[in-house]
Chains A and B, each alone.
Chain A
Amino acid sequence: MTDTLDRAPAPERGAARPGLAGRLLGHQLLWPVLAIIVMLVIDVIANPSFLDVRIQDGHLYGNVIDIARNSAPVMLVALGMTLVIATRGIDLSVGAVAAIAAAVACTRIVESADEGAASATILASTTALAVCVLLGVWNGFLVSVLGIQPIIATLVLMVAGRGLAMLITDGQITTPTNDTFSNLASGFVLGLPIAFLIALGMVALTAVLTRRTALGMLIEAVGINPDASRLAGVRARTITWTVYVFGAVCAGLAGLIIAANTNSVNANSLGLWIELDAILAVVIGGTALTGGRFSLAGTVVGALLIATLVRTIPSIGIPSEANYLFKAFVVILVCLLQSPRARAALRVRGRRGAQPKAVAA
């Protein structure tokens, strides 16, 4: 809404078509991308060899590759969250779902006959994702059939989920030894980390499904007005239900990657606060929390921004735990930029400054 209002006056000023620079300046991803670049510049100043990428054993190594690899879990969770938020919902349970998925996969691998076999990983991961589908169906049922507010409906699983994960691992820190499984996080294909490729693959798949078919538009329609979209013939209930299942599967994949990264699962701490990081990534990417509009590219940029931030803070000598402080400022900043009231206040001030020029012209 506000974007169209901003752009409307442009032709009147005589600029027949917005040039490349104009389009870039007006793009909603300008600020997040600029922020990533600024952080990288800071990194290079602090550590001149920060951007170096070297090839070792045919794989790419370096800080940038690490950022890409570490962004994978948040990117996956945020991907699911983007669609959920687009339907005007929210999914608080993704952290718990990630923990459950990791718990299921790790215990299955440990229990399998041949712990190191690739088939054990495949079987265990499939089981874990199937469990995630069930959890997603549960969330979707509460939201779309019983009509409970999403934040409350998913709170139930958020509270109970970690207990369930502990039940599965029997309260132990389960440590599977399986090369295929640990490759999920630390392996490389074509020189790039597998985790990042999985995340990008899911994003690409989702982009094709939502933007090359009518699905994306239908999801946005449900987010704008569920009742109106239902009356217009959109199966609002099925769509809402589906996005929660999708969100849970994405969270499950993220859980597997996190567990594979440390080759262990601690049901208490795995994926702690990842739902908040994911929501942050979605918001940074320009998807409004009020639903009805979503940007997958924005979510990817948002996840990369968070990963860059987490990497930048220790490299400039601040204790890495302080990243929460910076995340807080990012949240507030992004919200201020998106808040219609704050924008209106800014615009009034800007117009006052611009008025003399307009008179002169």
Chain B
Amino acid sequence: MSATIAVPNPSVWDRVRTYSPSRRYLPVVATFALFIGMFGAGGIRYEGFTDPQVFLSLLLDNSFLIVLAVGMTFVILSGGIDLSVGSVVALSTMIAAKTLEMGWSPYLSMVTVLVVGTLLGTLMGLLIHYLDIQPFIATLAGLFLARGLTYLISTESIPITDATFTELAFASITLPGGYYTTWTVVVALATVVVAAAVLARTRFGRTVYAVGGNEASAMLMGLRVAAVKVGVYAISGFCAALGGLLFGLYTLSGYSLHAVGMELDAIAAVVIGGTLLTGGRGFVVGSLLGVLVLGTIQTFISFDGTLNSWWTRIVIGALLLVFVVVQRLMTRRQT
């Protein structure tokens, strides 16, 4: 009696045929499909839409939003929300413009911006964790605080004329094929890569998911809930400040009415990217795709020419609705 039993050896084709992505990747895959579909539809409807430079401009015009969405992803994954990011962007552009006007070194100015943003985020995190203030309310205070500080520095728009800043803003990197991109895009994509690595590969990242999944359980497991809950707001504050610097490079000015409502775009991008708003599930890559989807809507409207800019907001709202409802139906089925 030979013990050899013919084990059916699945061919490569069988594996491909029966492969279904893990459930947790489904939302990201859906967003990716949406992005490809929208881009394809644009390519069919409008001439020159599929030109790689259009895609590169998409990254360029949304680099600050990508960075904001990365920070927001951390906060939402941990089960919180950060309403202050738009105001922190405005504050960052203002601090950069003002300090440069006062003759500070551009590097010192950048460091100041990043430190202020991180400090503000940390402060909100401390309020949220140690004093049990709802994230919504604590970051609302942050929104008012940052906007108020911006107005206090100046109510007028201050142009950024520093040589290092303008050089950075206009320096383009030539890619093979005659295409070009800028350093802001590189910074934004680097942020995405670092954030993805932190979330997937470090203890901190795993604790973020654990806290978002169930904070009480995470606490009972002995995870460092306090460090993570304060940490995610510090990261979001840092990302908002970095996004503010990129926005300052994009507009070359500091103004107290910059980035009004940008926190909504960031939240929308994260949700469209498939991150669960109750926390615990989602990926940074999804948020990147979410920003790209938002950007594509805008590109669509600018290519079309007959559509008005307000359709952007309506379409974003509709997409948000679809994703929120689908999320709700999916989570309901599981419970």
Within 8 A of A (CB), among B302-335: 308-314, 316-318, 320-321, 324-325, 328, 332
Since A164-B314, A167-B308 are in contact, a sample of 13 more A-B pairs with Cβ atoms closer than 8 Å, ordered by chain A residue number, is A148-B325, A152-B324, A156-B320, A161-B317, A276-B144, A324-B147, A325-B151, A327-B144, A335-B127, A335-B131, A335-B133, A339-B131, A341-B132
Q: Is A151 an interface residue (CB 8 A)?
A: yes
Residues of chain A within 8 A of B130, CB atoms compared: 341
Q: Is A279 an interface residue (CB 8 A)?
A: yes
- Say whether chain A's binding surface is mostly helix, strand, loop, or mixed: helix
Residues of chain B within 8 A of A283, CB atoms compared: 137
Q: Report 25 cross-chain contacts, Cβ distance below 8 Å, ordered by A residue.
A: A142-B325, A149-B278, A151-B81, A156-B317, A156-B320, A156-B321, A157-B317, A159-B268, A159-B320, A160-B314, A160-B318, A162-B310, A163-B310, A167-B314, A171-B308, A276-B140, A279-B137, A319-B152, A322-B151, A325-B144, A325-B145, A329-B145, A332-B127, A332-B138, A342-B132
Residues of chain B within 8 A of A153, CB atoms compared: 324
**Measured between alpha carbons, how far is A153 from B147 in the docked complex, in Å?**
26
Within 8 A of B (CB), among A280-322: 280, 283, 289, 319, 321-322
**Measured between alpha carbons, how far is A63 from B97 in the docked complex, in Å?**
37
A319 touches B151 (CB 8 A): yes
Residue of A nearest to B265 (CB): A159
Q: Mark A103-138, 1 if CB is under 8 A from B, else 0.
A: 000000000000000000000000000000000000
**Measured between alpha carbons, how far is A276 from B138 in the docked complex, in Å?**
12
Residue of A nearest to B83 (CB): A276
A335 touches B317 (CB 8 A): no
Residues of chain A within 8 A of B268, CB atoms compared: 155, 159
Residues of chain B within 8 A of A147, CB atoms compared: 328, 332
**Measured between alpha carbons, how far is A90 from B134 in the docked complex, in Å?**
13
Which residue, B137, B151, B332, has most C-beta atoms of chain A within 10 A? B137
Q: Is A44 an interface residue (CB 8 A)?
A: no
Given the contacts A167-B310, A272-B260, A279-B140, A328 and B145 also touching, CB distance less than 8 Å: yes
**Measured between alpha carbons, how far is A324 from B127 in the docked complex, in Å?**
19
Instruction: Name the one of B148, B316, B328 contacting A324, with C-beta atoms under 8 angstroms.
Output: B148
Instruction: Name the one of A155, A158, A332 contacting B141, with C-beta atoms under 8 angstroms.
Output: A332
Q: Is B197 an interface residue (CB 8 A)?
A: no
Q: Is B226 an interface residue (CB 8 A)?
A: no
Within 8 A of B (CB), among A249-298: 267, 272, 276, 279-280, 283, 289
Residues of chain B within 8 A of A163, CB atoms compared: 310-314, 316-317
Instruction: Name the one of A142, A151, A160, A336 contacting B131, with C-beta atoms under 8 angstroms.
Output: A336
Q: Is A229 an interface residue (CB 8 A)?
A: no
B313 touches A162 (CB 8 A): yes
Instruction: Name the one of B148, B321, B328 contacting A327, with C-beta atoms under 8 angstroms.
Output: B148
Q: Is B142 an interface residue (CB 8 A)?
A: yes
- Say whether chain B's binding surface is mostly helix, strand, loop, or mixed: helix
Residues of chain B within 8 A of A171, CB atoms compared: 308-310
Q: Is B199 an interface residue (CB 8 A)?
A: no
Q: Is B149 an interface residue (CB 8 A)?
A: yes
Q: Is B256 an interface residue (CB 8 A)?
A: yes
Within 8 A of B (CB), among A152-193: 152-153, 155-164, 166-167, 171
Residue of B nearest to A166 (CB): B310
Residues of chain B within 8 A of A280, CB atoms compared: 140
Given the contacts A159-B313, A167-B314, A322 and B324 also touching, CB distance less than 8 Å: no
Q: Is B264 an interface residue (CB 8 A)?
A: yes
Question: Number of contacting residues on B, CB 8 A?
Answer: 46
A322 touches B133 (CB 8 A): no
Q: Which 9 A-B pairs have the closest CB atoms?
A: A160-B317, A325-B148, A163-B313, A324-B148, A166-B310, A321-B151, A328-B145, A328-B144, A163-B314
Q: Is B136 an interface residue (CB 8 A)?
A: yes
Residues of B within 8 A of A (CB): 81, 127, 130-134, 136-138, 140-145, 147-149, 151-152, 155, 256, 260, 264, 267-268, 271, 277-278, 308-314, 316-318, 320-321, 324-325, 328, 332
**Measured between alpha carbons, how far is A161 from B278 in the docked complex, in Å?**
23
Given the contacts A156-B324, A166-B308, A151 and B148 also touching, CB distance less than 8 Å: no
**Measured between alpha carbons, how far is A148 from B320 in the docked complex, in Å?**
12
Residues of chain A within 8 A of B311, CB atoms compared: 163, 167
**Measured between alpha carbons, how far is A158 from B264 in the docked complex, in Å?**
9
Instruction: Name the one of A160, A167, A323, A340 contacting B316, with C-beta atoms under 8 angstroms.
Output: A160
B320 touches A155 (CB 8 A): yes
B328 touches A146 (CB 8 A): yes
Q: Is A33 an interface residue (CB 8 A)?
A: no
B134 touches A289 (CB 8 A): yes
Residues of chain A within 8 A of B328, CB atoms compared: 146-148
Residues of chain B within 8 A of A160, CB atoms compared: 313-314, 316-318, 320-321
B152 touches A325 (CB 8 A): yes
Least CB distance from B136 to A in Å reads 7
**Measured between alpha carbons, how far is A158 from B265 in the docked complex, in Å?**
11
**Measured between alpha carbons, how far is A8 from B144 in the docked complex, in Å?**
37
**Measured between alpha carbons, how far is A162 from B311 in the docked complex, in Å?**
10
Residue of A nearest to B84 (CB): A328
A289 touches B137 (CB 8 A): yes
Instruction: Name the one of B138, B155, B320 contacting A335, with C-beta atoms under 8 angstroms.
Output: B138
Residues of chain A within 8 A of B318, CB atoms compared: 160
Given the contacts A160-B314, A336-B131, A339-B131, A325 and B149 also touching, CB distance less than 8 Å: yes
Residues of chain A within 8 A of B81, CB atoms compared: 151
Residue of B nearest to A269 (CB): B260
B133 touches A339 (CB 8 A): yes
**Measured between alpha carbons, how far is A322 from B144 in the docked complex, in Å?**
9
Residues of chain B within 8 A of A152, CB atoms compared: 271, 277, 324
A339 touches B132 (CB 8 A): yes
